[in-house]
Amino acid sequence: MKLNERIAIVTGAASGMGRSIAILYAKEGAKVVVSDIDLEGAKATVAEIETNGGSAMAVLTNVTKEEDIQNLIDTTVKVYGTVDILVNNAGIMDNMAAAGDVTDELWDRVFAVNTTSVMRATRKVLPIFLTKGAGVIINIASVGGLRGSTAGAAYTASKHAVVGFTKNTGFQYAKEGIRCNAIAPGPIKTNISASMGNVNQRGAAICNTGMSLIQRLGEPEEIAGAALFLATDDSSFVNGTVLTVDGGWTAY
């Protein structure tokens, strides 16, 4: 098992990519903390892990609340003794609006979930990692963090920020044995579109111009495979970078 006895936190793990990452990590021997604002969904992920012989627990977490993130880290340490791997997966979409149509409310909500939560969770595990001289952080970014208009202005800016934060963190803490990388998924079969709200028709029409280039939708398990690689010693010399997993979409 590639993650035997490692302790992993996965946010947004009640469904989609987070759920698949949590299940695969547990299969590979990790003890997984399944974090989500959907507690029942998180418990369902835990139940599947335990049915397959793995170890996991669910922690209710609203990643926009610093006290919830602190509780997530504290609970993990209390139950399992430490943290080895943090996967910042929780995220939401915007409504495809370009800059002129973005409201402060939309901007703040998207950044709170997609970007600020990544910073806060990272900030809170770093003292643990520094004490141990080891630790892995994996941030789920997006091809929207590499391109200009696969989504609206708020989502695009939030994911670009995650990419920059990942590179900065990876470089800043490399000498302390801590690695921080990101995954930039292409279009994946998840329920994230449910967080979109009222779609801005003008923005959506422009964003959709590149959708014809997509060869196929990815499966959450395909992102989980990349997250497993980045969590293990197989990627020991991979740090501060972004792994694009999009079926070749952005290669055009």
Q: Which residues are catalytic?
A: 155
Tell me the helix, strand and coil percentages in the chain, rounded to 5.
55, 15, 30
In angstroms, the first-to-last Cα distance of the chain is 37
In whole angstroms, how far apart are CA 101 and each of 95, 164, 194, 202, 203?
10, 25, 20, 10, 9
Q: In what order do the strands lie in the sheet with 135-140?
A: 55-60, 31-36, 7-11, 85-88, 135-140, 178-185, 242-245
Exposure pattern of 35-45 as b/e (b: 16+ CB <10 Å)? bbbbeebbbbb
